[in-house]
Amino acid sequence: MILPQVIKQLDQIDSFKRYGRVKRVVGLMIESQGPPESSIGDVCYIHVGHKRKRTIPAEVVGFKNEEVILMPYTALNDISPGSLVEATARPLEIKVGTQLIGSVIDSTGLPLDGSSLPKGLSSVPTEQDPPNPMQRPPISSSIEVGVRMIDSLLTVGNGQRVGIFAGSGVGKSTLLGMVARNTKADLNVIALIGERGREVREFIERDLGPEGLSRSIVVVATSDQPALMRIKGAYTATAIAEYFRDKGLNVMLMMDSVTRVAMAQREVGLAIGEPPTTKGYTPSVFAILPKLLERTGTNEKGSITAFYTVLVDGDDMNEPIADTVRGILDGHFVLDRSLANKGQYPAVNVLKSVSRVMNNIVPHEHIRAAEKLREALSTYMNAEDLINIGAYKRGSSAEIDEAVRLYPSIISFLKQGTHEKVSFQESIDQLFNLVGKGD
């Protein structure tokens, strides 16, 4: 019974290797005559070098007339006219397993320190379809992230996707490090996309720390790497999170930043001839963002709670990528430079931030207490100029008087030290002590 099945499988194996030849290199792109039967997304190997022969992995990203357009995963060095292009007829796959926890890897899934991968890992494709909408269980429970402001006022659901919007240098990486160390998720998958090389080790050792790294997998694609590697870093991290979600775990995915993924896709799109549209971004950028971001969330086996940082140019929250991402995700936290300048960390502007699932996952008294704090803070901010110049007289408004009384306590409540641990229940208790329980 087994032999006929083996013979059938052998008959289905394609025993032929297909090759092409490099015709020319234009900018970031390699134009090749063949290999035949290549498909978009297939990995090819370009054989280069005369004295020291080696292969350069590349991916099929388009076609032009009878030519195949490739983009390399590494530098273009040593490629010459006529270099042999070998087809694999397979998309990029990575090795995943529990043995990978605690590792720092690149976009192709290889350890960044040059060591060998552990044995017993499973192969998974980096690009997969999002879960069927009808097979996504509703978000019904909260997940502790260990940041008092978020747990109490912007409660995150288990399987929610949140954007962290901020300009440069306002504390995105620090906030992600706090979440990674303090969260109650089973596993963290952290993608550092387009980061400065100097910041990678600093984030791992200072922000994440040994405690956070021991329950994390970090995927790194620095800013000096080719655009395709930066894009694949996002897909690889998401595929790793999906693998563990399908094992029944509650995974925390943190990606810093989705804006640099969009910028890398813009580079690819412009190089293959796409027309630039809004702010130079090509149509493919706005096509891949929903496909990437919708892959996270819940399915029938587990969940991926995702935090995506969005780097906003000039603190403009309405620039194209920020606007698109905000419309896809289930909430957004806005980091305010003016709060950071005052020394308030995390510098999340509570009045501009929202969690779209909070009202469905916390008790009514918690919702009312959070609303009371927001109302008091909003009242104070609206009257702040009058208060600062001495134009407001106590007794003119009971709401403003109450806001002025509570303001120092509210600011103290919103601040949290980088290595200060606050449990979910402690956050709620402190909120109730500050403004009382809701009706």
Shared domain for 309 and 413, answered yes or no, is: no
- Residue 293 and residue 308 in contact, taking contact as beta carbons nearer than 8 Å: yes
Last residue of a domain, one of 327, 359, 391: 359
Q: What is the mean pLDDT of the chain?
A: 90
Shared domain for 334 and 407, answered yes or no, is: no
Domain that holds residue 54: 15-91
When pLDDT is averaged across residues 415-438 and rounded to a whole number, the result is: 90
Shared domain for 242 and 382, answered yes or no, is: no
- Closest by CA position to 347, among listed 418, 258, 431: 418
Count how many domains the chain has: 3
Shared domain for 268 and 183, answered yes or no, is: yes
Percent with pLDDT over 90 in the chain: 62
When pLDDT is averaged across residues 74-98 and rounded to a whole number, the result is: 90
Shared domain for 165 and 258, answered yes or no, is: yes
Q: CA 210 to CA 16: how far, in whole Å?
A: 48
Q: Is the pLDDT of residue 1 over 70?
A: no
- Residue 179 and residue 252 in contact, taking contact as beta carbons nearer than 8 Å: yes
Shared domain for 160 and 286, answered yes or no, is: yes
Tell me if 162 is assigned to some domain.
Answer: yes
Tell me if 226 is assigned to some domain.
Answer: yes
Shared domain for 235 and 300, answered yes or no, is: yes
Shared domain for 108 and 45, answered yes or no, is: no
Shared domain for 62 and 164, answered yes or no, is: no
Tell me if 167 is assigned to some domain.
Answer: yes
Tell me if 117 is assigned to some domain.
Answer: yes
Q: CA 310 to CA 404: how far, in whole Å?
A: 33
Which tens digits make up the pLDDT trace of 122-150? 999 999 999 999 989 999 999 999 999 99
Last residue of a domain, one of 74, 91, 108: 91
Tell me if 3 is assigned to some domain.
Answer: no
Tell me if 250 is assigned to some domain.
Answer: yes
Q: Is the pLDDT of residue 439 over 60?
A: no
Shared domain for 308 and 390, answered yes or no, is: no
Shared domain for 77 and 104, answered yes or no, is: no
Which tens digits make up the pLDDT trace of 38-73? 899 999 999 998 767 889 999 999 888 889 999 999
Which tens digits make up the pLDDT trace of 255-299? 988 999 999 999 999 988 889 888 889 999 999 999 999 999 999
Q: What is the pLDDT of residue 396?
A: 84
Q: Is the pLDDT of residue 388 over 90?
A: no
- Closest by CA position to 258, among listed 160, 164, 356: 164
Shared domain for 43 and 77, answered yes or no, is: yes
> pTM for this one?
0.91
